C-alpha cells in the first residue's frame, strides 16, 4: 500500500496544453487500491445586456509535473493523459457532449465548409476527434439517422465525469433533492427527484451521474480539482447544469413558502439579504452551464483505474468538510458574507467580510475556486459562478430549455 498522497497529487496541477491523440480502447476492469494518510491539519441573478461579443478570457496557467501517476504503475502499459499534454484527466474523445444553443454541424472544421445539419439546443453527441476550436462529433438526427460532422467547442457542454473522473459526483437533485429553507421542507421539492440525470456510462462500466457544463467552465473546474488533489482533498459536485423546468419548479415552491411563512421570510430578509439572492427565475447560470454547487472532501482512499488505454484517479472513500449549513439550505444560515456583495462582478466579493460561522471548509473551497477563476456567491457557500463564460453564454443566447437524459460515452480511443 502506498502512503504518500501529498506527493502523489502535488504534481497533478493542470497545464492548459494542446490536446493529444489517443489509442483504441480495450476496457480493463483492473485497478490498484492505495490507502491515503489524513491530510494536514442562487443566489442573486441579474439581467445583463451585452452590446457586443465578450472578449476571449486569458487562460489560467498552472504548472504541473504530469508524470507522477506513471511512477506507481510501472508494470502496466496505461497512458497518463496529462503527461501527453491533455487539458483534462482523460481525453475528450469518446465523451458525451450537448449543444448549449442551436448549432450548425459542419462538413469540415472551418467556416467556409458546408453546413450538413442544424442541431437544436440540448442535442447529445459523442466526441470523435478535436481540432483547434472544433469537435468532430457523432449524432443521431431528428429522423433517426446517424451523422458525423464538426461543431464549435465554445457553444457546447461536456459531461464532467467523462473528463475529470477524480471529482466525486453526487447530484442529489436527480435522486432526492436536499433543498430546504429554515430547515423546513419545500413542498413538492424536498426529497423528490427533480429531473433525470443518472445513466449507465460505458466509459467506466458503471452507472454515473450525467453532469454537463459549458466547455470553457469545465476547464476551470479541472484546475480547481487539481489544486484540491494536491492537498489531499477533492471537490464533491452536487450540481452543474440544471434544466429550465426543474429550476422554475424549485423557484415557484420556494417563493410560495417565502410569501406565506413569516419565519421563512425572516430568515431570508436579514442583514441586507433578499429572496432574489438565494434563487432567481430561469434563465439562470445553472441553465447556462456556468455555475456549480459543490463542497469539499478529505480523501481517505483512492484507486488508480483505467478506461481504454488511459489511467485515471477514482476517489473511493472521502469525508466531507463540516460546513456552516447543510447543502441547499436556502436561508441566511448559508450566507458567507456579513453584507451581500454584487454577484456579477469578478472582484466585488474580495471586499466582503466573512461571517463568524464560516468554516475552514468554506474558506478552503473559496480559495481553490478563486484560483481557478470562479466567483463565490454571498448567499450560498456552495455556489460558484464562472462570470466570463456566463457573459459568453448570455451573448450566445443559452437558456437551458432542454432536458438531458442519456449518456452516450465510450472509452477513449485514438481517432
d(CA 268, CA 281): 17
Closest of 363, 69, 395, 406 to residue 216, by C-alpha: 395
Would residue 131 count as lying in a domain?
no
d(CA 220, CA 126): 22
- Residue 249 CB neighbours (<10 A): 18
d(CA 193, CA 173): 6
CATH number of the domain at 345, please.
Answer: 3.30.1380.10
Would residue 97 count as lying in a domain?
no
Q: Please give the pLDDT value at position 25.
A: 40
Q: Please give the pLDDT value at position 58.
A: 53
Written as nine digits, the cell of 382 is 456552495
Domain coverage including residue 37:
5-90+161-396
Would residue 114 count as lying in a domain?
no
**Burial, 108: exposed, middle or buried (Cβ in 10 Å; 0-12, 13-18, 19+)?**
middle
283 Rama class: left (phi>0) / alpha (psi -120 to 50) / beta: beta
Q: Please give the pLDDT value at position 141.
A: 83
d(CA 207, CA 170): 12
DSSP state string for 270-336:
STT--GGGB--PSS-HHHHT-EEEEEEEEEEEEEEEEETTEEEEEEEEEEEPP-SS-TTB-SGGG--
**Burial, 55: exposed, middle or buried (Cβ in 10 Å; 0-12, 13-18, 19+)?**
exposed
Q: Please give the pLDDT value at position 55.
A: 56
- Residue 276 CB neighbours (<10 A): 16
Q: Please give the pLDDT value at position 71.
A: 42
Q: How far apart are the first and last CA of the chain?
A: 36
Domains: count for the chain: 1
- CB of 165 closer than 8 Å to CB of 314: yes
Q: Please give the pLDDT value at position 3.
A: 40
3 state SS of 129: strand
Written as nine digits, the cell of 116 is 450538413
3 state SS of 181: strand
Would residue 246 count as lying in a domain?
yes
Q: Please give the pLDDT value at position 56.
A: 52
3 state SS of 227: helix
Would residue 410 count as lying in a domain?
no
Q: Going residue by residue through the chain, which has 415 residues, state the pLDDT in tens, using 9 for 90 and above.
A: 334 443 343 334 333 333 333 433 444 433 333 344 444 444 444 333 334 555 555 544 444 445 444 444 444 578 999 889 899 999 999 999 999 999 999 999 999 999 999 999 999 999 999 999 999 999 988 888 899 999 999 999 999 999 999 999 999 999 999 999 999 999 999 999 999 999 999 999 999 999 999 999 999 999 999 999 999 999 999 999 999 999 999 999 999 999 999 999 999 999 999 999 999 888 889 999 999 999 999 999 999 999 999 999 999 999 999 999 999 999 999 999 999 999 889 999 999 999 999 999 999 999 999 999 999 999 999 999 999 999 999 999 999 999 998 999 999 987 6
d(CA 308, CA 291): 31
Would residue 200 count as lying in a domain?
yes
Q: Please give the pLDDT value at position 282.
A: 82
Q: Please give the pLDDT value at position 20.
A: 38
d(CA 107, CA 120): 17
Give pTM, 2 decimals: 0.83
- List residues bridging with 237 in a β-sheet: 169, 294
Would residue 331 count as lying in a domain?
yes
Amino acid at each position: 500500500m502506498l502512503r504518500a498522497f501529498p506527493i502523489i497529487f502535488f504534481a497533478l496541477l493542470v497545464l492548459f496544453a494542446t490536446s493529444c491523440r489517443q489509442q483504441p480502447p480495450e476496457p480493463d476492469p483492473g485497478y490498484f487500491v492505495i490507502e491515503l494518510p489524513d491530510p494536514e491539519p442562487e443566489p442573486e441573478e441579474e439581467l445583463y445586456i451585452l452590446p457586443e461579443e465578450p472578449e476571449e478570457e486569458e487562460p489560467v496557467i498552472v504548472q504541473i509535473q504530469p508524470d507522477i501517476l506513471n511512477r506507481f504503475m510501472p508494470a502496466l502499459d496505461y497512458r497518463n493523459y496529462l503527461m501527453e499534454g491533455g487539458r483534462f484527466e482523460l481525453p475528450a474523445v469518446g465523451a458525451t457532449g450537448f449543444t448549449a444553443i442551436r448549432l450548425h454541424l459542419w462538413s469540415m472544421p472551418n467556416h467556409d465548409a458546408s453546413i450538413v445539419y442544424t442541431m437544436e439546443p440540448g442535442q447529445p453527441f459523442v466526441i470523435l476527434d478535436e481540432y483547434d476550436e472544433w469537435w468532430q462529433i457523432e449524432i443521431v438526427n431528428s429522423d433517426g439517422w446517424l451523422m458525423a460532422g464538426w461543431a464549435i467547442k465554445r457553444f457546447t457542454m461536456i459531461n464532467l465525469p467523462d473528463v475529470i473522473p477524480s471529482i466525486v459526483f453526487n447530484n442529489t437533485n436527480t435522486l432526492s433533492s436536499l433543498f430546504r429553507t429554515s430547515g423546513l421542507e419545500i413542498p413538492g421539492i424536498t426529497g423528490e427527484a427533480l429531473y433525470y440525470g443518472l445513466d449507465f456510462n460505458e466509459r467506466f462500466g458503471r452507472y454515473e451521474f450525467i453532469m454537463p457544463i459549458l466547455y470553457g467552465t469545465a476547464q476551470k473546474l479541472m484546475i480547481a480539482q487539481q489544486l484540491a488533489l494536491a492537498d489531499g482533498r477533492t471537490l464533491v459536485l452536487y450540481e452543474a447544469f440544471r434544466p429550465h423546468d426543474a429550476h422554475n419548479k424549485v423557484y415557484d415552491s420556494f417563493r410560495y413558502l417565502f410569501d406565506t411563512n413569516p419565519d421563512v421570510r425572516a430568515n431570508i430578509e436579514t442583514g441586507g439579504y433578499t429572496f432574489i439572492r438565494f434563487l432567481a427565475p430561469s434563465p439562470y447560470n445553472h441553465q447556462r452551464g456556468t455555475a456549480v454547487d459543490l463542497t469539499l472532501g478529505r480523501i481517505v482512499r483512492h484507486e488508480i483505474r483505467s478506461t481504454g488505454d488511459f489511467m485515471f484517479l477514482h476517489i473511493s472513500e472521502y469525508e466531507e468538510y463540516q460546513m456552516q449549513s447543510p447543502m441547499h439550505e436556502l436561508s441566511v444560515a448559508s450566507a458567507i458574507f456579513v453584507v451581500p456583495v454584487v454577484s456579477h462582478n469578478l472582484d466585488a466579493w474580495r471586499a466582503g467580510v466573512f461571517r463568524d460561522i464560516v468554516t475552514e471548509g468554506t474558506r478552503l473551497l473559496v480559495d481553490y475556486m478563486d484560483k481557478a477563476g470562479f466567483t463565490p456567491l454571498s448567499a450560498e457557500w456552495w455556489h460558484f459562478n464562472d462570470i466570463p463564460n456566463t457573459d459568453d453564454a448570455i451573448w450566445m443566447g443559452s437558456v437551458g430549455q432542454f432536458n438531458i437524459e442519456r449518456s452516450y460515452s465510450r472509452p477513449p480511443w485514438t481517432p
